[in-house]
Chains A and B, each alone.
Chain A
Amino acid sequence: MAITESDVCHVAMLARLALTNEQVDTLTAELDSLLGHIDELRRLDLEGVEPTAHPLAMTNRTRADVVRPGLSREDALRNAPETDGTAFVVPAITGGEDAS
């Protein structure tokens, strides 16, 4: 199945990647080639085979629901590109054109 530029643009939107036109061109060719190589997977007869999500037979593990120390606010904010000292600062998410 051939990958088109429009497929690549759609996937880039899902992945939140603002690709340049040149990147779209390159990735269209590369993904087409890579998917061509791994396309054998689609043809394997694996009817009735259970999928594996985890390599070891482990069951869910729980711990006591006890409050424990975590990252301090200062540490949590230390690497943020923009903060007001108490929270992460992001561009406005809600509001109309007048919102700042």
Chain B
Amino acid sequence: MSTLDLSALSARQVRDGIVAGDHSAREVVDAAYARVEALDDRVHAFLQLTPELAYEAAERVDAARAAGNPLPPLAGVPAGLKDNMNLLGTRTTCGSRMLETYESVYDCTAVRRLLDAGALPIGKCNMDEFAFGSSTENSAFGPTRNPWDLDRVPGGSSGGSAACVAAGMTSISLGSDTGGSIRQPGALTGTVALKPTYGRVSRYGIVAFGSSLDQIGPFGTSVEDVALALEAIAGEDPMDATSSPEPVVPYGSLLEGGVAGLRVGLVTDMLEMDGCGREIRASVAAAAETFASLGAEVGEVDLPSAKHGLSAYYVIGPAEASSNLARFDGIRYGLRVPDAEDVTDLYARSRAEGFGPETIRRIMLGTYALSAGYYDAYYGQAQKARTRIIEDFRSAFERFDVLLTPTTPEVAFTFGEKSDPFTMYLNDVYTIPVNLAGNCAISVPSGVCPGTGLPIGLQIIGDHFAETTILRAAAAFEAATGFDPVPPTVRALA
């Protein structure tokens, strides 16, 4: 049993400790698995642990240090990987029975880059099946629980990735965000969670959900850790033609400088939406005051078309998903029923048996929206509404450098509380417009709800490729508020 407490150390501190000889990478892996053993039967952040890969990676880091070689920026940092990301030597299940036994035959670029930067792969994280959900209740392998309160959801769909960081089982993790699936669980678990600009990170090797919306991004317990992880995974990839050639900058070393003179826009109409909790509104308003006290120029702005984002998203997302999931036909991989009469029977029964209820719901919604007679009314209109949302953001970014909204309309909810699909979908009302417009955004803890003691997330939105700006704003806010991101329950449990 290791005495190293990962929950007390940032990724930067873990790495610096290895450089200084305070601990070895092997000890870091020991500490991560000790914590997994102590907590994960309750939290269920992981679907699969990968100790062989983690100890091999640790050995390389320790050998490099022993040889006096320079260590890469994330050397020895324990990481969780959402289970929709391929990594050779692991299964990639996507939280689905359909892919329960699927073995990766190639690496996801973002994962490869994170590991090449020295990170240690502790395991594959639980998720809503095929990333469809806002609670991680839709995993075929059982839900993940929120380390802040085990009766509550961690958010989704990257709930496992958020929970393993919140519980101090890993320092960082990777998630994917199609409509808020990094930022929403980030807010609900009190972690820092970044959705980069569309195209900033290659999507090669992730199981696709909505190809024009998906983006991989990191979780951490500090803005600096998230910036370092982004630095490792960002950049053009010949394997993904939609990855951007925009140069990668050293995000981790550009966090200083504060926010004096930064133009901060509080998105007033989104803040006033029905369903936004009183404590959430108060927290965001207080955050705006914090920015003003730090010297930012705070003003108000509206995004009038953003209110149509949810409707547009629940046409475009499922439409793209229904197309992407057509590949699961029981022929090349995935579940196949044993006694099919013919190929059509094999397709239809394998898919119905392999997919869970939320996945079937989204495929049906998407197929309907793309079907003859409804294409223009739903899909065409949604793509036009998307244009309007992009125009709103463009106009807002002419006046402001960053925009502030809540990340979620409420704090973590209890299991089963949102049984109606649309009520669940409302959780992503603040995050979805950002995906439709392709912008970058970060959720940073802005305090805890006075009634429940649960964390609240502040969303800071930036223009395309303005990651440096939102990270700098988030770092200044973090330094000013001093929020302690370790859940009290986990502190007691460990």
Contacts and interface: CB of A to CB of B under 8 A. Distances in A.
B437 interface: yes
A78 B384 CA distance: 42
B242 A18 contact: no
Contacts of A41: 308, 311-312, 315, 377-378, 381-382, 385
A80 B368 contact: no
B367 A38 contact: no
Contacts of B314: 34, 37-38
Interface size band for B: 35 or more
A67 B180 CA distance: 38
Contact of A52 (B310, B363, B387, B464): B387
A38 B360 CA distance: 18
Q: Helix, strand, loop or mixed for chain B's interface?
A: helix
A80 to B, nearest CB: 6
Nearest to B393: A55
B172 interface: no
Given A12-B364, A14-B371, A41-B308, A52 B390 contact: yes
Contact of A91 (B197, B343, B348): B343
B249 interface: no
Interface in A1-55: 3, 7-8, 10-12, 14-20, 23, 27, 30-31, 33-35, 37-38, 40-42, 44, 46, 49-55
Q: Helix, strand, loop or mixed for chain A's interface?
A: loop
B329 interface: yes
Contacts of A80: 331-333
Interface string B95-129: 00000011101100000000000000000000000
B368 A7 contact: yes
Interface size band for A: 35 or more
Contact of B422 (A33, A63, A93): A33
B381 A44 contact: yes
B105 A18 contact: no
Contact of B377 (A17, A42, A61, A81): A42
B308 A15 contact: no
B387 A17 contact: no
A81 B334 CA distance: 7
B21 to A, nearest CB: 41
B349 interface: yes
A51 B336 contact: no
B242 A17 contact: no
Interface string B344-365: 1111110110010000110111
A33 to B, nearest CB: 7
Given A41-B315, A42-B381, A79-B102, A55 B367 contact: no
B384 A49 contact: yes
A55 B352 contact: no
B303 to A, nearest CB: 15
B364 A18 contact: no
A18 to B, nearest CB: 4
Contact of B199 (A10, A23, A56, A63): A56
Interface of A: 3, 7-8, 10-12, 14-20, 23, 27, 30-31, 33-35, 37-38, 40-42, 44, 46, 49-56, 58, 61, 63, 71, 75-76, 78-82, 88, 90-93
Nearest first, the 6 closest Cβ-Cβ pairs linking A and B are: A55-B438, A51-B383, A81-B336, A79-B333, A18-B348, A38-B311
Interface of B: 101-103, 105-106, 197-199, 212-213, 238, 241-242, 244, 308, 310-312, 314-315, 322, 326, 329-336, 340-349, 351-352, 355, 360-361, 363-365, 367-368, 371, 377-378, 380-388, 390, 420-422, 436-438, 464
12 contacts: A16-B347, A18-B349, A33-B420, A34-B421, A51-B384, A52-B383, A53-B383, A80-B331, A80-B333, A82-B336, A91-B341, A91-B342
Given A54-B212, A93-B343, 18 more contacts: A14-B367, A16-B344, A18-B349, A27-B360, A27-B364, A38-B314, A38-B315, A46-B384, A51-B386, A52-B384, A54-B242, A55-B198, A55-B213, A61-B241, A63-B238, A82-B336, A90-B346, A91-B343
